[in-house]
Amino acid sequence: MRSGAHTLQRPAAPHLSFGDLMQASGRKGKRVRIAKGQEIITAGNRHDKIYANHDGWLFRYKLLHSGRRQILDFILPGELFGFQAVLPSGALYSVATMTDAVLTAFPADAIDQMFDRSSRLSKALFRCAMREAAILGERLTNAGRRSAYERISHLMLELFVRLSSAGLVQGKSFHMPLTQELIGDALGLTTIHVNRTLRALREDALITIEGKCVTIGDFDALSALSDFEHSYLDGTELRRDRDAVRPVENRSGRPTRLA
Amino acid sequence: MRSGAHTLQRPAAPHLSFGDLMQASGRKGKRVRIAKGQEIITAGNRHDKIYANHDGWLFRYKLLHSGRRQILDFILPGELFGFQAVLPSGALYSVATMTDAVLTAFPADAIDQMFDRSSRLSKALFRCAMREAAILGERLTNAGRRSAYERISHLMLELFVRLSSAGLVQGKSFHMPLTQELIGDALGLTTIHVNRTLRALREDALITIEGKCVTIGDFDALSALSDFEHSYLDGTELRRDRDAVRPVENRSGRPTRLA
DNA sequence: CGCGGAATTGACGCACTTCAACACGTGTGG
DNA sequence: CCACACGTGTTGAAGTGCGTCAATTCCGCG
């Protein structure tokens, strides 16, 4: 079912759909391909686009003067990003691709349009921002008050749930293009300690990672030990409609660089 | 100047004022006094009110099954809270007072009113949520990638800046009703280590805490060592107008308990 | 085949925690 | 009025989770 028309009947939790954004932007969204390792948004700069991620993984991050990096969040297929970059003070953190990715870039004023034209979409945008805050709150709790073992468990469960709402899990497994370095930078750990902790989780038959494939051995045990409670992820992701997340037909094409 | 009338001329960054909320709620806001140590919002429960904090300090927090506590943020005079508690999935974290406080409670549908009636207010709410996410991002970076020395420096600078935009600093000093335990729970440290680190900061003449009064010894040095960059706090706090933050006349009255 | 990024493992060090005591101020009840 | 409890701050000694440094192996890819 398409969204955008019969939405006022929906009681609560209106999702934001790709079509909504397309419409609000006057169909000005432009689809682009980005190679892995490209920076889309740079901390401190103002940007005039917001993005929908169709395919690929990205991450938001900050660099400290010491060279350390903190990853704030991962951007999975079906999610929006770039709202904060249009603030007058400039982007608070950078965004980069970790795999080849397919995005749609919308002019930033599409956001203004949405606020001006539809209270339903305004609420959906607000929910988007609230969800981002909720995820960051969980990450903070991770870094502040959980052991490496608990942190990794929690992150894997979160990815599992977020990916399943995008239809990207198979049984108890999912594809995860994260290196141990990226996991460490997201959780405030070193690569080496991530490696040791993953071994422990594997030996305990809780989480197994083979190549880029993660398998959840015991969801309930992991939830219990890491205080995972999935309600903070509920129902506010970008609504998947026909255009939002679809497999890209022409995988051989050269990725585009952003202007 | 009052807000609410001539807002479209304002280029960007519209603030949210207490008066806006009052108006959107049909003047249904109720002023209440709360004693220190009271829980206003309970994680997991749904609530039907949002709050403006006039006077006093509150904090958002989560409890883990192990008993550990993570404080996500402090709520200072002049700030709003409670948006997340009206989500259908229930509050993601609890909110409690750490001092006696004076709040105004608005019915939650005042939010809906604002979205339905004014795109200016919708944008302001969105900015509120973005600011919350920005603060959480900084906290995450704190906990994940900074030493105790850097974390405490960063937090004190953040409080200094946030309180100055509420007019609550005197020179290089401000009143801070935080115990060392609360600081530790906000930064992911133990009380004992907070104590030792504060001593180090005092010996280095960077930060001095006497009783509840914090003095910033060297703002620039602290900013440099902790990567503090205040733009993430800019311009989206609750706008102070005549009603928002005012000294309470009758301090002797017994604080009210919430129903 | 050879290169470079990623994973793995070991030895060692340190930042922070844990456990334990004690000091200090404040409020409260006998 | 003192005794006592209690919350908060302070300090010491010892333990540990995680970081740092260093080397080796594995693997995808041009």
From A9, A5, A16, select the one nearest A239 (Cα to Cα). A16
From A15, A156, A11, A158, select the one nearest A79 (Cα to Cα). A15
Question: A147 pLDDT band (50/70/90 cuts)?
Answer: very high
For the stretch B53-83, what's the b/e string if a residue is b when 16 or more beta carbons lie within 10 angstroms of its beta carbon?
Answer: bbbbbbbbbbeeeeeebbbbbbbbbbbbbbb
pLDDT score, position B235: 58
- Whose tokens are 């509120």? That residue is B128
Q: Would you tell me which residues 217-246 of chain A have a C-beta closer than 8 angstroms to some C-beta of chain B?
A: 224, 227, 231-232, 234-235
Considering chain A, what is the average pLDDT of its residues? 85
CA dihedral sign, ordered B189, B193, B197, B199:
positive
From B89, B22, B30, select the one nearest A231 (Cα to Cα). B89
For the CA atoms of A109, A111, A116, A119, what is the dihedral angle to 10 degrees? 170
Between CA B9 and CA B26 the distance in angstroms is: 25
- Nucleic strand D within 7 A of Cβ A179: no
A8: pLDDT strictly greater than 70: no
Contact (CB<8Å) B115/A116: no
- Nucleic strand C within 7 A of Cβ B70: no
* Structure-model confidence comparison of residues B149 and A90, the more confident one: B149
Between CA B115 and CA B112 the distance in angstroms is: 5
User: Residue type at B197?
Assistant: T
Question: A235 pLDDT band (50/70/90 cuts)?
Answer: low
Q: The pTM is what? A: 0.87
Between CA B121 and CA B31 the distance in angstroms is: 22
Question: How high is the mean pLDDT in each 10-residue block of chain B (259 residues)?
Answer: 36 66 86 94 93 96 96 96 85 95 93 90 91 95 97 98 93 97 98 98 96 96 96 64 37 33
- The sheet carrying A94-97 orders its strands as A39-41, A94-97, A58-63, A69-75
* Structure-model confidence comparison of residues A217 and B258, the more confident one: A217
| B217: DSSP letter | S
Per the CB < 8 A criterion, the answer to whether B45 and B118 are in contact is no
CA dihedral sign, ordered A69, B184, B92, A130:
negative
Bases of chain D below 7 A from a protein C-beta are 7-13, 17-22, 28
- Whose tokens are 């109720």? That residue is B30
- CB-based burial of residue B10 (10 Å sphere; 0-12 exposed, 13-18 middle, 19+ buried)? exposed
What would the pLDDT profile of A46-84 be if each residue is shown by its tens digit?
999 999 999 999 999 999 999 999 999 999 999 999 998
Per the CB < 8 A criterion, the answer to whether B74 and B59 are in contact is yes
How far does Cα B242 stand from its chain's mean position?
19
- Nucleic strand D within 7 A of Cβ A193: yes
Contact (CB<8Å) B84/A133: yes
